[in-house]
Structure 1
């Protein structure tokens, strides 16, 4: 058993160092059979340590601690702007939408100026501030415990408010996205609130630039199949886009 545990640790380290490894390569390197390596990879994937692919495995990157929203506004600014504009085209006059917190969702809010009779529910103070002066938008702010670093409101009050409302679309961003690990976030209380938000509407639209993919954070929100559409930028790896489309998720490249 000890040998098996040590081998698993060494295989994980090898994959992290090389970012990718084939079964034949691992078999030769560690001096064990290919069926043994496949079983080891299966165990590591179940533990959330790596992501298997045909013939081998790739490293699953842990999402780094997220800096406060005020420091992220300029990150991938051009890509987020394109994502925001493309997402706004998916929103129709007269709809009720939920717009979650984050810098990418704030870009969506910037492109809602010409919508008519739109109802926007949000738990984000920056988005509320963006929309409050628009008379064509019926703005509903959930209330809740303010998470100062994110300008967002989380916790029981948000969750209770959403139980009293209905929306056509939920538009959210996420700390980390992985086909295997799903949608994940770092803050435990925010993760619980996100679980309620994801179930708030018939259609879930995820907005995320390419830096969010193939990563995992500690708090599980939902599987990737909870999402109906993903709006991302054209730097998102083609194999990830194809995998998502193979799962009947509509991927829009902005």
Structure 2
């Protein structure tokens, strides 16, 4: 296989798995590890990957991956996370569902829940929950972010301040190794920070790719989260932080 054909495949694997390893790629493409190292170096030089020990990850940055691509990333994992999170939400609860493709997976798993009140700043979530006839849907106003149908900004935060939710389902773009929850849009972060104050229990839904990414704006910390729903065991530092702060973790299958 020529180099020009390997590069798109390597990038697709990185998008799906969050990280690529030299030895795994060499075996997959039936080439030498030296060849794969050259591929990863060239992709890193082009700004498409970031080299780490033994492999590469998607690059850190100050802009998020486009929405349609995020929807395709780790779809099976997000479905499993959504199912596990929804199972922890009882009927007749008040719930806030945040912006994000994983929170949208939670919404799809709530279609059989009875008598929910769902407040959301995610138009995709609102449209999904229309199929649940017993669900009261409140859309938090704000500035429409056309890229993903999210509502953001101070108006959204002010709407949230009128509620006290039983559960807030929060997503993020990255989790730093010190336990900080990170995102890219300061207007969205304002919403997340308000949620942390206006919810009895906060559930974080995040697939394993968030453990390896970076983003510039801080939402809060794992110490603010009651329960993390993810698809893989947390890396050592994050697992230690959760244990220190009594944050429960469910690894969805």
Q: Aligned residue for 2:150? A: 152
| Aligned-residue offset at 1:71 | 2.0
Tell me which stretches of 4 or more aligned residues in structure 1 moved more than 4 Å: none
Contact 2:62 2:216 in 1 (8 A): no
Contact 1:159 1:196 in 2 (8 A): yes
| Aligned-residue offset at 1:234 | 2.3
Alignment of 1:50-69 (within 5 A): 62=60, 65-69=63-67
Contact 1:176 1:217 in 2 (8 A): yes
Q: Aligned residue for 1:202? A: 200
Q: Aligned residue for 1:228? A: 226
Q: Aligned residue for 2:181? A: 183
CA distance in 2, matches of 1:67, 1:109: 22
Superposed CA RMSD: 1.8
CA distance in 1, matches of 2:225, 2:60: 21
CA distance in 1, matches of 2:170, 2:182: 12
SS class of match (1:143): coil
Alignment of 1:154-169 (within 5 A): 154-169=152-167
Match of 1:217 among 215, 218, 221: 215
Q: How many residues align structurally?
A: 194
CA distance in 1, matches of 2:249, 2:174: 17
The TM-score with structure 2 as length reference comes to: 0.72
CA distance in 1, matches of 2:140, 2:148: 15
Gaps of 5+ in 1: 1-60
Match of 1:85 among 80, 83, 86: 83
Q: Aligned residue for 2:122? A: 124
Gaps of 5+ in 2: 1-58
CA distance in 1, matches of 2:112, 2:177: 35
| Aligned-residue offset at 1:106 | 0.5
CA distance in 2, matches of 1:140, 1:103: 19
